[in-house]
Amino acid sequence: QLVESGGGLVKPGQSLRLSCVVSGFNLSDFFISWIRQAPGGGLEWISYISSTTAYTNYAASVKGRFIVTRDNAKNSVYLQMDNLRVDDTARYFCARDSGFRGWFGPWGQGTLVTVSS
């Protein structure tokens, strides 16, 4: 199971930190990805972090503004989102990522981030 939290309403330029707490599997064995869905839109992969934190990757739309980290001891993955923009408004999901050329599953139910002045 994965449970996201930390969403909310913020103004453009502000920051938020999302958390993803996992249970039922050993977090240290898996990649975790963050995926978002804008209102009325489709799914967009935005970031992943490898099982050992040795490697992270980001979509161009968030690179330089978002940072993903993990604390395996706390069974948690975090997404620090800085300099938020109106077009970052979305529901943010975390998902277990099977790794290179893999798939996402299971997913959390998501947390809603709204960026508005």
Partner 1 sequence: DIQLTQSPSSLSASVGDRVTITCRASQNIRTFLNWYQHKPGKAPNLLIYTSSNVQSGVPSRFSGGGSGTDFTLTINSLRPEDFATYYCQQSYGAPLTFGGGTKIEIK
Q: Which residues bind partner 1 (CB under 8 A)?
A: 2, 33, 42-45, 57, 59-60, 93, 95, 98, 101-110
> 81 with 10: CB under 8 angstroms?
no
Nearer to partner 1, 21 or 59 (CB): 59
Nearer to partner 1, 78 or 104 (CB): 104
CB atoms within 10 A of CB 46: 24
Q: At its nearest, how many Å lie between partner 1 and the CB of residue 68?
A: 14
Q: At its nearest, how many Å lie between partner 1 and the CB of residue 20?
A: 12
32 is written with which tokens? Answer: 């975790």
Nearer to partner 1, 73 or 101 (CB): 101
> 90 with 36: CB under 8 angstroms?
yes
Q: At its nearest, how many Å lie between partner 1 and the CB of residue 21?
A: 14
CB atoms within 10 A of CB 54: 7
Q: In whole angstroms, what is the distance from residue 99 CA to residue 41 CA?
A: 25
